[in-house]
Amino acid sequence: MTRQCARRVRRILVRAVSGYYEGRARRQGKPRPRAGAVAFAQRFDSAMRLSFHFHVLWLDGVYASEPGRGRAEFCEHDEVSDGDVAGLVSAIRARVLRYLRRVGNSSTAAEEAVDVSDDGELQMDLVAAAVQGRAALGERAGERDQRVGRGTRNEPFVKGSLCADVDGFSLHAAVRVEGRDRDRLEHLCRYAGRPAVAESRLSLLPDGRVAYSLKKRWQDGTTAVVMTKQVLMERLCALVPRPRKHLVTYHGVLAPAAGIRPWIVPRVEADDGCRHTGAVANVEADAVQAGRNQSVRRVEPRRIAPHAPGKRRRGRPRYTWAELLQRVYLVEVLRCPHCGATRRLLAAIHDPELIRRVLLAMGLSATLPVPVAARSPPEQAELPW
């Protein structure tokens, strides 16, 4: 999907379900009810095919607030029924089809259906083949992925409760996590934001092809799909998300600019910093004391809380290197390994001589490594599989 089409479909989905929650709350007399959701955009299915869909985590209720009170009260929703899910998926289907008819049902709609940028015809071929589970290039161009175990399932397939399908539109609402079950909530968030390929399910067959095991058996009994290495490369190229596109978005009371968000999202107060008096702390203090010159720039400690009541972050935020490392690699470099408190950044040292003295005092080498000259690529790259 293009950015505009994906945004519109996501908006239809979020508005439909949020309207369901807020409408029920209004009928119960709740003042100014607001729902909240976190939407994850996924571009793949369990067989590594291109299948754009959404996983959305909704607050199972609404926040009601009265003007002038300065706080919001959470109102838990009643139990959702199968009829509610069926009505929602029918409403979403009607709104999406209405939008597609308004956009156009000829070439414009076809372009909206696939996510292609300015990469040319090759990217369009890879995307189209990934949607259908076929090979795009080589001798097997146009052939489908081989399925292992297809046709071996005899028992009927039952979707279960709180799941509805209408003409290709499906809505599943059977997963519910209690508010204080943080471990299960983290597991659910990791599932919704997981990458496209699970390396543990990839295996190399004796004939050189690659098998990708399915997490669950399909309706026809398929347990794995088999493809060549070239088709695997084609599939990975098609599954890579386009740059400058948000795959995780926040809606309702959880949106960044929501007026009552400071009353809802827990605030984390900044602590006093690491009080551990180890050798590293003493070396840093000596370095700061010895470096009172223009080469040392004082850095004020930063609040941990992302926002405060009455203040909104404007513009694009700038994250520190410590925050980027924590967001990407889940490594908290500012966490003291001895006492567990948060370290405070004392100074940024730029003087080479002062840096050398600090490294020597810490027992580390102060010699610059010799860069290795670049080499030409090998004649044939050895792939890990």
Looking at the fold, whether 23 and 134 belong to one and the same domain comes out as: yes
Mean pLDDT of 180-195: 89
Say if 14 falls within a structural domain: yes
Looking at the fold, whether 258 and 283 belong to one and the same domain comes out as: no
Number of domains in the chain: 2
The residues facing 73 across adjacent strands are: 64
Give the residue with greater pLDDT, 264 vs 138: 264
Looking at the fold, whether 50 and 181 belong to one and the same domain comes out as: yes
Give the residue with greater pLDDT, 94 vs 286: 94
- 82-133 pLDDT, tens digit each: 888 888 988 998 999 899 888 874 344 444 444 444 455 776 777 777 766 7
Given a cut of 90, whether residue 256 has pLDDT beyond it is no
**Residue 148 in contact with residue 226, Cβ under 8 Å?**
yes
Say if 382 falls within a structural domain: no
| Poorest-pLDDT segment among 28-32, 164-168, 197-201 | 164-168
Given a cut of 90, whether residue 39 has pLDDT beyond it is yes
Looking at the fold, whether 33 and 134 belong to one and the same domain comes out as: yes
| Poorest-pLDDT segment among 140-154, 165-179, 242-256, 275-289 | 275-289
Say if 378 falls within a structural domain: no
| Confidence at residue 220, expressed as pLDDT on a 0 to 100 scale | 79
- 361-375 pLDDT, tens digit each: 988 888 888 888 877
* pTM for the model: 0.64
Say if 214 falls within a structural domain: no
- 294-330 pLDDT, tens digit each: 444 444 444 444 444 444 445 556 788 888 888 888 8
Looking at the fold, whether 252 and 284 belong to one and the same domain comes out as: no
Please say which residue of 212, 240, 264 terminates a domain.
264
Cβ-proximal residues to 37 (8 Å cutoff; 6+ apart), any chain? 14, 17, 18, 56, 57, 58, 59, 250, 251, 252, 254
Looking at the fold, whether 188 and 259 belong to one and the same domain comes out as: yes
Looking at the fold, whether 251 and 308 belong to one and the same domain comes out as: no
Looking at the fold, whether 254 and 302 belong to one and the same domain comes out as: no
Mark 173-204 as b/e (b = at least 16 C-beta within 10 Å).
Answer: beeebeeeeeeeeeebbeebeeebeeeeeeee
**Residue 222 in contact with residue 149, Cβ under 8 Å?**
yes
Q: Which domain holds residue 170?
A: 3-197+228-264
Looking at the fold, whether 122 and 251 belong to one and the same domain comes out as: yes
| Confidence at residue 243, expressed as pLDDT on a 0 to 100 scale | 79
Say if 202 falls within a structural domain: no
At position 377, the amino acid (one-letter code) is P
Say if 381 falls within a structural domain: no
Looking at the fold, whether 180 and 253 belong to one and the same domain comes out as: yes
Given a cut of 80, whether residue 139 has pLDDT beyond it is no
Looking at the fold, whether 123 and 233 belong to one and the same domain comes out as: yes
Looking at the fold, whether 307 and 183 belong to one and the same domain comes out as: no
Say if 242 falls within a structural domain: yes
Say if 75 falls within a structural domain: yes
| Confidence at residue 248, expressed as pLDDT on a 0 to 100 scale | 92
**Residue 238 in contact with residue 126, Cβ under 8 Å?**
yes
| Confidence at residue 290, expressed as pLDDT on a 0 to 100 scale | 46
- 2-27 pLDDT, tens digit each: 678 888 999 999 999 999 999 998 99
